[in-house]
A = this chain, B = another copy of it.
Amino acid sequence: MPDFKILLVDDEPDLLELVRYNLIRDGYTVFTAANGEQALKVAAEVRPHLVVLDVRMPVLDGIETCKRLRDNRDTADLPVIMLTALSQEIDEVKGLGAGADDYIAKPVSYRKLEARIKSLLRRAYPEVEQEAVLRREGIEIDREKYLVRRTVQGEEQKLHLPKKQFELLYALASKPGVVQSREELLDEVWGEDVYVTPRTVDVHVRKIRDTIGEHYIETVKGVGYRFAE
């Protein structure tokens, strides 16, 4: 993960600090601002790779801030995640033409926010390879070639997976041992507005297991899936 700079903008200090702490722990460089005006200033200065923007703020609200970011040539393509207080507010905000790349309703768990951030970063900076090859017990997952190398009885096999299956496997293998819920996986692999049944994940997991074998992905009933350690 090559040192992405993230700008957090929210007027609630508690929330800001909490998310900041977690993002730093996960290897991001974090900048913060308490309102839209500050945000524009910081954005121009540090040139972040992504902005998380609260809709409700004093001085300059999220919608207006997002528009101004878009108007400025330097920040026009900056990926923006908009946080709204109510889920129904999302449609209103979209209607006002803020033009954010993703919308999330508060309250949101950190895990969900991080999944969306990862997903958006991957979409926005495809040329920046976050760890091209994951090496795990008896298996290698090569993101550049969408290829899985597996050694079976001293013989190397190359397996090709379709895009969704590959990305799902990659998401699981990037956190070995950690159980991820279907919703988290949808957020991370499918990205923004997903109108997809969580059960879809099951089907993809099954197909992955069909090709690479049963024992890499473990089911945790009632919780989700995990990559075996």
Contact = CB atoms under 8 A, between A and B. Distances in A.
Nearest to A226: B145
A199 interface: no
Interface residues of A, number: 39
Interface string A16-37: 0011000000000000000000
Given A18-B127, A19-B127, A221-B162, A144 B179 contact: yes
Interface stretch (A63-71, A104-112, A188-196, A209-217): A104-112
A113 B85 contact: no
Given A85-B77, A179-B146, A221 B109 contact: no
Contacts of A108: 126-127
Given A163-B222, A221-B163, A124 B107 contact: yes
A160 B108 CA distance: 28
Interface string A133-149: 00000000000111100
A58 to B, nearest CB: 10
